[in-house]
Chain A
Amino acid sequence: MTEKNVVQTIHDTLWDAMKDDDRVLILGEDVGARGGVFRATAGFLDEFGERRVIDTPLAESSIVGVAIGMAMHGLLPVAEIQFADFIHPAFDQLVSEAARIRYRTAGDWHCPLVVRAPYGGGVHGALYHSQSIEAFYGHVPGLKVVVPSTPYDVKGLLLAAINDPDPVMFLEHKKTYRLIKGEVPDEPYQVPIGKAEVKREGEDLSVISYGLMLHHSLEAAGRLQEEEGFSAEVVDVRTIAPLDKETILDSVRKTSKALVLYEDNRTYGAGAEISATIAEELMLDMDAPVMRVGGPDIPAMPFATPMEHFYMPDAEHVYQHMKELAKF
C-alpha cells in the first residue's frame, strides 16, 4: 500500500501493465520524449523504447484509428488524447468504427482499445482545456466510458480497461491529478467496469456524482452531518456506460431523495440519464423531486477566474443544494 495522487497512479499502473504484457503499447502526442504534458508517461520512452511508446503526429483521428488497427491485430493499445477537448476529430473513429466493430461483424472482430483523455475544468483551461465529454460517448452503444475519481479506482479501472475486450474511454479529471491522494495497493487488481460504489453511507439523501464533483459531494456531506445533522449517502458512478442503475436505485430507494451532480453542461448531460432513470423507476418511493445540478448551458467555462468559478459547482454550492434537498 502506497499513498499516491491520481496522475502518479496512472503512471505507475501503465508502467506495470507494460512490464507485464508486451502487447500493451502507448501512443499519443508528446507521450515519448516529453513523457506526456501531465507527465503520465514520464520515463516510459527510456524504459520501453520508441516501438512501444509512440510519439504520434498531431492528428487525433489517426491516433485512435491507428490504435484500432493495432487492436485488431493482437496488440492492446492505450491511446492518449492530450486533452479531451481535442478528441472531437476522432469522433468518427470512436463512434463509427471502435464502437461498432464487434456489432457489425456479429463478434467476428472486436476492438480491445483504451483511450485515455484528461477532461474537466477548474484549472483555468477555458473553452478548450476544460470540457467534459462523457455524455457524447455514453450515448454510444459499444463504447464503455469510465470516470474514476480516486487513486484506488484509477488503478483498478485502468487495469480492467486494458484487459477489457471492448473499447474503453478512460476519462481522467485533470483537476484531481495532483489534488486527490489515496492509498493504492502495490499488487495488481481490477475494479469492475460497470459498477458504481457507495463512497459514503447515509440515510437522509443520496448524492450521485463522479469526477471532481464526487470530492465536493464528500466534503459537503461531512459538513452537512456536522452542521445540520443530516446524513448524506454519496454514490460514485465510476462508469458512465454501461450505467450501474442497480447501485444508484438501491441508494435512492433507501434515502428517498436524490441529488444528481455533474460538471458537464446540464442539458443532455450524463446526469440527465441518471435523473430520468430514478424518476422512471422510483417515483412512488420519492420524498422530493430529483434534484439535478450541472454546469450552465454555455459553450464552455470561460477563462477569467470569476466566470470560471461561476461555471464550476464547488463544495459550497453543492452543500447549499444538499441542505435544501435534505430539508425538503
Chain B
Amino acid sequence: MATRTKEQAASRYQKLGLSEQDLLSMHRTMVTARLCDEAQFRLNRQGKAPFVVPVSGHEGCQIGSAWPYRKSHDVFVPYYRDMGVCLVAGMTPRDVFLGVFGKRDDPSSSGRQMPAHWGSRCLGIVTGSSPIATQIPHAAGIAYAITYRGEDAVVGCWFGDGATSEGDWHEGLNFSGIHRLPVVWYCENNMYAISVPLSKQMAVKDVAERGPAYGFEGIVVDGNDVLGCYEASRAAVERAREGRGPTLIEMKTYRFHPHTSDDDRTYRSREEVEEAKRKDPIVLFGNYLKELGLADDGELERLRSELKEQVDAEVEAAWNASDPSPEEALNHVFSQGESNEQRVGRTTGRAGSGEAPGDASILETTGSEASPAEPPSESPSESPR
C-alpha cells in the first residue's frame, strides 16, 4: 500500500466508474450513519431513546452495497440494522430520529414500530418487522412482480447472518433461484446473532456457499471495504437487471456496539471488539481518500465536526417534533377507503421529512436512469435536514 502511487490507487475507483465526487459522497454518508449511531446510543444512555439498533461497523458494507441502486426506482428490502442502506435510499437523519423518538412524522411507521423498522413506499424502502427473515419471501415476491410487469427494477434484500438459519430465508432464496428473479441477497455477516457465534449458526464456513444450492452464485467480500462491496454489488445488480438472476453476496464485517440497546460483554471480549475496530470501514476509507489526496486528517476532522453539528441539530428538531395523538392508535387496521392499487415507489403519500419524490409515476419515468456505472452522484446525506 505504502509503495503504490496515487495513480495506482486511483485506478481502483476509476475502473469502477466512480468519480472523486462519488467517493466523497459515499464517505460522507458513512460518517453520517456513524454520527447518527453515536447520537442515538448517547440518547439511549441518557434515557431519551428507549430502544436503538446500532449500525457502527456496518457502514462500509451497507453503503457500498446499496450505492449501485437507482433511487426511487429500485427496491430496498432492509433489515433493522440498515440505517446506512436507508440513508442511501433517501432517508435523512431527521427521519432516523423521528423514528427514534416515535414521532408522528416518523416516515417508517408514524411512531407505531420500534425505531429502525424502516419503510417508505415512495423511497422504495419496503416496510419490515421484527421477526427475522420474514422479508426474504417478500423480496422474492416483489422481484416476481417486477418481472411480471415487465419493469427493469432490481430488488436488494439485506439481512444478518442469523437470518440465514430461518426457514423463510431458504424458501425465499429457493423461489428466487427457480424463477431467476431480479434480486440481490446481501448477508451482513457480523459473526454473531445477538450472542450466538457463527460456529453455532452453521456448519459451513461461508454463508455464500449456499448460493449454488439455489442455482446462483455466492460471493464473499470484505464488508469493511466499501469499494469492494460496491464492486460486487454493482456487478450483481447489473446481472439482475439483465435478467440473469439472483446473486448472494456475503459481506464479512463486525458490529462495534451491542445488538441493540443491550450489553454484549457476556459473549465477546473487549479485546475482540477493539481488534475489530482496527478494521473500521470509515477509517479504512478515510485512509484511501488521504492516499488519493482527496482529504487530509484536518479535513476529515472538520467534516466530522460539521456533520456532527448538523446531526445534533436534526436530533434537536426531531425531539421537538409533534407526537402522535393517542387515538391515532386505532387507525389503519383496515382500509379507510383506499383502493387496492399499490406499487413500490408509486405514491403521493408520506415522504417523511425529506423532500423525497412523491411523483405518482416514478416507476414509469426514465428520469433516474443513471447507468449502474454512474450511480447517483448526490448523496442523500449531503444536506441532512
Contacts and interface: CB of A to CB of B under 8 A. Distances in A.
Contact of B347 (A77, A96, A108): A108
A92 B335 contact: no
A185 interface: no
Question: Which of A69, A76, A142 is most buried by chain B, counting CB atoms within 10 A of its CB?
Answer: A69
B141 A106 contact: no
A306 interface: no
B171 interface: yes
A255 interface: no
B385 interface: no
Contacts of B172: 62, 65-66
Nearest to A57: B174
Nearest to B171: A62
Contacts of A275: none
Nearest to B169: A62
Contacts, number: 170
Interface stretch (B39-47, B121-129, B191-199, B314-322): B121-129
Contacts of A61: 137, 167-168, 171
B140 interface: yes
Interface string B326-355: 001001111110111111101101100000
B134 A106 contact: no
A2 B171 CA distance: 41
B120 A165 contact: no
A25 interface: yes
B13 interface: no
Interface in A155-202: 163-166
Contacts of B121: 105, 108-109
A57 B178 contact: yes
A274 interface: no
Contact of B141 (A57, A67, A100): A67
Interface of A: 25, 51, 56-57, 59, 61-62, 64-77, 89, 92-93, 96-97, 100-110, 112, 141-142, 144, 163-166, 242
Interface of B: 75, 107-110, 112-113, 117, 119-121, 126-127, 129-131, 134, 136-146, 148-149, 167-168, 171-172, 174-175, 178, 328, 331-336, 338-344, 346-347, 349-350
- Which 3 pairs between the two chains have the least Cβ-Cβ distance? A69-B141, A65-B137, A62-B171
Given A165-B338, A166-B335, 9 more contacts: A57-B171, A59-B174, A66-B137, A92-B134, A102-B332, A102-B335, A103-B333, A105-B119, A106-B109
